[in-house]
Structure 1
């Protein structure tokens, strides 16, 4: 399958990139609380950090599972359990956290958005289908809508895998088709719905992930089949192009297409690093990789922390227009990675390990039971023959 060298086990540069995507979303959520005039174009496009995650998700899942799916070694149940172990414990913890914070604020007489505690939306949130049109309100830990969208893509992964396995030797076709479908869907959806698909959450979030996930799958085929010269330069240029396109408020489809080039070039840098070539050290360094590992926690705690910290700070430092002084705002922002590190080590990582260990023990027990049953059956057959 690969014409450009073996795919590395750990794409460290992409892990580092995840933190940048998460913090882009954080800035989008927190900027309105800052007492500075205007909203920079780059920050205003921060919602596209979710699209970057979606493209990356398609790429990484193909990196890990596509060959097994194509060659018949893919276990759908094990795959879904692994993905559930990855996302659900922290989703549940932050949902409960938002409920506790909102309930405490209500008791204390602090005004909050009444939609936060939307009990009619709770079942959909618990089942992670609140981005499928089943939640009447954007409620609880609202950013988790994207986790619901991810769950939709996980459930459909065998369909993606089948399509892209058939295209595994035609990466250019896969890329062109994926980009064309993405552009057509973006343009068509906006014409029909009156707003961009990239700004959909609870009602069209499941659709929002589909073109990005497919683009990530196609990018993986390009990565495994086509050598990318000057990967470091292309990574830098694609980053600058994303920043410039965002600052200039260009069409979202253009920026999402640039995400594919960024991911491809960073993956190529990881390959070069594994083959001993010099690369940008900070992308593969411990600090960057660690920040990338906690990026899911960064994303999931940003709104609960905002509800607590920003509302509390506004009671003391309100500038009179619902904004905070720069220093206070920066301190609140700086706490997010620290809180994310705590939730990563106390909730996300141990829960994931516990769920996977439980599944392994259950699988081992079932296998031993089957062996025991087969052995007993064999003994019975032998006895019958002797008789």
Structure 2
């Protein structure tokens, strides 16, 4: 399937301007990679905090679930940055795009899913805990087909952070549709429409009957959706990312001084949102941050770039590390459940990052390369006539 944007896109003087392949795709986005590192550590701190006898406290850690919303906005921006020119030039292949996203996401999802089954049910069989009460067959099928963010289950299951992968896949599947207005509408219209859609869904979720979106301790709001129709959470935020990247494509870089001043203002605004509990405003400020990192002058340290590179694997393994590592620490130290002393913090973070690196090194990256590398073997090599099926070319996928 090839998407061809309207011809008016490249000719309209009222639009956002032509999206050019040269320059756009080669713009440095290392600051976005660093933001991924930050968001990854933030969500790990949020999930681990409840395991300790004393919480680190503060609005920052308590609101770590919003790191996922940053990921969703950033994901939309990155995808448009990579594929926007192909859409504009009528070179976009939906089939190859989805294959690339599958190769990027699913191997790690599959491995961590199987590991979760082994840990939760194998540990229960060995007398190290109780098996979950949900029916394994049902939740396993939902997780295998990445349907566990579509309201088919009644709770988080197995490798529970992977609900966001289910939601992300929905955004990828609809990417050509969501991106189409970005190719034909003027900047101002895009921004207004994106914010309006986001706020409309915010209001709709908060006003909906509770049985549709069961509330949790954080209340019934868009940023609380996980297993219960989380695709409603990802789509407007993904769209915000698309719009940010589209509107800033071709915009000149800010000076270093201006970049730092703007960064301070935006971070200050985001912290105010955390302190006042205004999740919707935090997400909009996060979209502004993504835009600033795109056009600002920032040079993240190499360690943040590396951590951002492995952040997906870290995110996908951190819950499994928590299940096993904290239980081990509790047994060795004789601590009650969820009462590990704070001095264990450095070790838990170090082991989580190490496990994430191993997942990236031996599963994520090799499987991505394997699934996107052409294998032009002939069937006669295996004793059969006719050519073997071809796989998508690696150079067909922007990296």
Short-chain TM bin: 0.7 to 0.9
Among 244, 257, 276, which residue is 2:284 paired with?
257
SS in 2 for 1:203: coil
Report how far residue 321 of structure 1 moved: 6.1
The 1:101/1:165 distance shift into structure 2, 3 A limit, reads same
Among 210, 215, 237, which residue is 2:235 paired with?
210
Query: Is residue 266 of structure 1 aligned with residue 284 of structure 2?
Result: no
RMSD of aligned alpha carbons:
2.5
Query: Is residue 232 of structure 1 aligned with residue 260 of structure 2?
Result: yes
Aligned residues: 353
Report how far residue 23 of structure 1 moved: 1.2
Report how far residue 328 of structure 1 moved: 1.4
Among 286, 311, 317, which residue is 1:295 paired with?
311
The 1:105/1:156 distance shift into structure 2, 3 A limit, reads same
Report how far residue 359 of structure 1 moved: 7.0
Report how far residue 8 of structure 1 moved: 5.0
What is the rounded CA distance, in whole Å, between the counterparts of 1:267 and 1:253 in structure 2? Answer: 22
The 1:175/1:20 distance shift into structure 2, 3 A limit, reads same
1:355-374 aligned within 5 A: 355-358=371-374
The 1:38/1:353 distance shift into structure 2, 3 A limit, reads closer
Query: Is residue 19 of structure 1 aligned with residue 37 of structure 2?
Result: yes
Alignment-derived partner of residue 160 in structure 2: 142
Alignment-derived partner of residue 224 in structure 2: 199
The 1:311/1:193 distance shift into structure 2, 3 A limit, reads farther
Q: Which of 303-312 and 128-137 deviates more?
A: 128-137
Alignment-derived partner of residue 358 in structure 2: 342
SS in 1 for 2:53: coil
Report how far residue 176 of structure 1 moved: 1.8
The 1:319/1:343 distance shift into structure 2, 3 A limit, reads same
- Contact 2:314 2:356 (C-alpha < 8 Å) held by counterparts: yes
Give the 4+ runs in structure 1 shifted more than 6 A. 359-362, 364-368
The 1:15/1:359 distance shift into structure 2, 3 A limit, reads farther
The 1:128/1:336 distance shift into structure 2, 3 A limit, reads same
Among 100, 109, 123, which residue is 1:91 paired with?
109
Bigger proportion of residues as helix: 1
The 1:320/1:213 distance shift into structure 2, 3 A limit, reads same
What is the rounded CA distance, in whole Å, between the counterparts of 2:146 and 2:377 in structure 1? Answer: 26
The 1:113/1:225 distance shift into structure 2, 3 A limit, reads farther
Report how far residue 37 of structure 1 moved: 4.9
Among 23, 27, 37, which residue is 1:6 paired with?
23
The 1:15/1:70 distance shift into structure 2, 3 A limit, reads same
Report how far residue 320 of structure 1 moved: 4.0
- Contact 2:120 2:132 (C-alpha < 8 Å) held by counterparts: no
What is the rounded CA distance, in whole Å, between the counterparts of 1:84 and 1:339 in structure 2? Answer: 22
Alignment-derived partner of residue 306 in structure 1: 322
- Contact 2:159 2:320 (C-alpha < 8 Å) held by counterparts: yes
Structure 2 gaps of 5+ residues are 1-16, 211-219, 379-386, 392-399
Structure 1 gaps of 5+ residues are 270-278, 369-387
Report how far residue 360 of structure 1 moved: 7.8
Report how far residue 307 of structure 1 moved: 0.6
SS in 1 for 2:65: helix
Alignment-derived partner of residue 79 in structure 2: 61
The 1:177/1:267 distance shift into structure 2, 3 A limit, reads same
Instruction: Map Cα deviations across residues 186-242 of structure 1 (whole Å, 9 max, x no partner).
Output: 122112144011111112111110110110011012211545642232223322322
Larger-Rg structure: 1
Report how far residue 135 of structure 1 moved: 3.1
The 1:352/1:117 distance shift into structure 2, 3 A limit, reads farther
Report how far residue 286 of structure 1 moved: 2.3
Give the TM-score normalised by the residue count of structure 1.
0.85
Report how far residue 2 of structure 1 moved: 5.7
